[in-house]
Amino acid sequence: MMEHEQGVILDVTPGDHEPFERRLLEGSGHEVRVCHGPGATKSCPLLEEGVCEEVNRAHGVVFKLDLDREYHRRILATYKETIPDDMPIAAAVQPGQENTYSELLDGLYVWSHQPNAAELDGFAALVEAADYSRPDSE
pLDDT for res 2: 37
Put simply, whether the predicted model's pTM sits higher than 0.85 gets the answer: no
| Domain extent for 35 | 8-132
Domain contains 137: no
Q: Report how many domains make up the chain.
A: 1
pLDDT digits (tens, 9 = 90+) for 92-124: 999 999 999 999 999 999 999 888 888 888 888
Q: How far apart are CA 125 and CA 33, in angstroms?
A: 17
Q: What CATH code is carried by the domain that includes residue 51?
A: 3.40.50.2300
pLDDT confidence band for 40 (50 / 70 / 90):
low
Averaged confidence pLDDT in the chain? 81
Domain contains 80: yes
Sign of the alpha-carbon torsion through 56, 61, 65, 70 = positive
Kindly state the helix (H) or strand (E) to which residue 54 belongs, with its residue range.
helix 53-57
pLDDT for res 26: 73
Comparison of pLDDT for 126 and 137, the residue scoring more: 126
pLDDT digits (tens, 9 = 90+) for 5-21: 567 888 888 766 565 66
Domain contains 75: yes
The number of angstroms, rounded, from the C-alpha of 127 to the middle of its chain's C-alpha atoms is 10
Percent over 90 (pLDDT), the chain? 28
Domain contains 138: no
Beta bridge partners of 90: 62, 109
Beta bridge partners of 35: 12
Domain contains 90: yes
